Amino acid sequence: MNEKEVWNNYIRYRTSVYEAMDPEHISRNLISEANWMVRSQCFSGEDLGIRVKRGDICFVDFGQVYLNESGYQHFALVMAMSNKKALVVPMTSNAVTYRKAYDAEENPEGSTHLMRLGRLKGLRKPSVLFLNDVKFVNTARIIEVIGNISPRSRLFHQVQDRLKDVLFSSKT
């Protein structure tokens, strides 16, 4: 098969994939693809004028996803920085997910991989962290910094403690 045939087969396949998707999924996928085209060759967000620090709440493009992963465009909390990469915890304001999240007082039987943050400055709705989706990303994936939780704050330390529990728990 020559290069043109490979390309044509790929285009036919991608067309069939998009035809099977719902409109919201198509939109989010195309936005991620456009972001990737612009940002994938950037060494870091600094190439785009974006400076990120620990505690920042950012709008991030995580790209395409597998089931049970955070993907496409989501807010995230920056837990650490290392060599131009950010260790981020994706978050959502989805009300159903928020209700499912563990809270010692309001929902002690809730899912411990979800952590309620409440309504933070810069966000319109109460948010919840996906602690089991923590990952390092190139800061070029960060579209915008929209807020900050001080790394010295009680809340940030609570996130660290809960994250350690998820990462190093012997539970499956």
Residue with tokens 């539970």: 171
Specify the DSSP class assigned to residue 41. T
12: region left, alpha or beta (phi > 0 left; psi from -120 to 50 alpha): alpha
- Domain of 51 in residue numbering reads as 3-168
Look at residue 25 in the predicted model and tell me its pLDDT. 85
Q: What is the pLDDT of residues 95-129, one digit of tens each?
A: 999 999 999 999 999 999 999 999 998 888 999 99
Q: How far apart, in whole angstroms, are the C-alpha atoms of residue 56 and residue 145?
A: 7
Nearest-angstrom CA–CA distance, 61 and 40: 11
Residues 6 or more apart from 169 whose CB is under 8 A from it? none
Instruction: Please check the confidence at residue 55 and state whether its pLDDT lies above 70.
Output: yes
In this structure, what CATH number is given to the domain that contains residue 67?
2.30.30.110
CA 83 to chain centre: 19
pLDDT digits (tens, 9 = 90+) for 15-48: 998 888 888 888 988 999 999 999 999 999 999 9
As for how many domains the chain has, the answer is 1
d(CA 76, CA 59): 6
